[in-house]
Chains A and B, each alone.
Chain A
Amino acid sequence: MPTTNTNDTYLSIGGVDFSDYFVSVEISQTNNAVEVTTGHAQTDVQRLPGLNDRTLTATIRSDTGFDTTELTPLIVGTQQTVSYGPEGNTSGLPKFEGSMILTQIDGPSANVNKDVHSLELTLTQADVPTATIENGDTFA
């Protein structure tokens, strides 16, 4: 089976398609395992899985064409539905979707070296996702 390598990524935040503006997207999952060691004279820690959590970070380029439509979801502290397809949003392709809170926006930053202006977004899980890639969920 071939590996995947594409820039046909799909990213929607709050119903706004940012696919044409994306520079990079990454979603990470964590689980804070809980220690449950009991009894005395134990020699090793015992744990059970804790709660799952997810963070999505995205870099999108700042564009002179941004209007109120694109800017509306980019307000820190707001809860948005995020839809992400690393290979695109064609039917059958892997899909993540869930409610997330925009917890940080860095940028646009500017410097005299004329680096491209971009926004770095951090979104944190707000609820159980409705679709996850690891569960085999896909776009309809």
Chain B
Amino acid sequence: MIAKAALFSVVSQQLRGDALWGERVYHDAAPRGVAYPYVVFFVAGGGELNLHRTPDAEIVVSVKAVADNLAVAFECAARIQDLLNDRGASDIRAGLPDAPGGWLIISSTQGLDISLVDYVDQSDKRIYHEGAQYEFFMQKVGE
């Protein structure tokens, strides 16, 4: 299993079921008409790290909440931070689900903020995207 697949599984599992967005967690894009707020995550960069000769990876994932209310968007971003930042196996708040495929997520670190405002179709209705990039350091330790 490639690192990205293992990571997607963990991020999805960690985020699902939160009181704010429930099961509305999607990778890459949300389906049309899904209720607000929802969470979307997608790869922003990285890959095989080649720091060791055993498989390892450093992958940056953008994770953002999309809401039609700025206060809700901010609240969702704070929840995402609590669920993902410093949650790797070696971090101070270790608590991510076990990764499949023999992968271990050693650390997860919040990076740049994501913040933008968009309009729904061609109306005046605003939607707010709030979140951050998270850098995941991973190593394959098993099969």
Encode B68-94 as 1/0 by CB contact (under 8 A) with A: 000000000000000000000010000
> Which chain B residues lie closer than 8 Å to A61 at the CB level?
51-52
State the main secondary structure of chain B at its contact with A: loop
> Which chain B residues lie closer than 8 Å to A21 at the CB level?
52
- Number of residue pairs across A and B with beta carbons under 8 Å? 18
**Using a CB-CB cutoff of 8 Å, which residues 85-140 of chain A contact chain B?**
114, 116
B51/A116 in contact, CB under 8 A:
yes
Number of interface residues of B (CB under 8 A): 9
Q: Which of A20, A22, A114 contacts B109 (CB 8 A)?
A: A114
A114/B53 in contact, CB under 8 A:
no
> How far apart are the CA atoms of A23 and B90 in the complex, in Å?
20
Closest approach, in angstroms, between the C-beta of B143 and any C-beta of chain A? 15
> How far apart are the CA atoms of A47 and B92 in the complex, in Å?
60
> How far apart are the CA atoms of A21 and B53 in the complex, in Å?
8
Closest 7 CB pairs of A and B: A7-B53, A114-B107, A114-B109, A116-B51, A61-B52, A20-B54, A23-B51
User: What residues of chain A have their CB less than 8 Å away from a CB belonging to chain B?
Assistant: 7-9, 20-23, 61, 114, 116
User: What residues of chain B have their CB less than 8 Å away from a CB belonging to chain A?
Assistant: 50-54, 90, 107, 109, 137
If A8-B53, A23-B51, A114-B137 are given as contacts, then 15 extra A-B residue pairs at C-beta distance below 8 Å, sorted by A number, are A7-B50, A7-B53, A9-B53, A20-B52, A20-B53, A20-B54, A21-B52, A22-B53, A23-B52, A61-B51, A61-B52, A114-B90, A114-B107, A114-B109, A116-B51
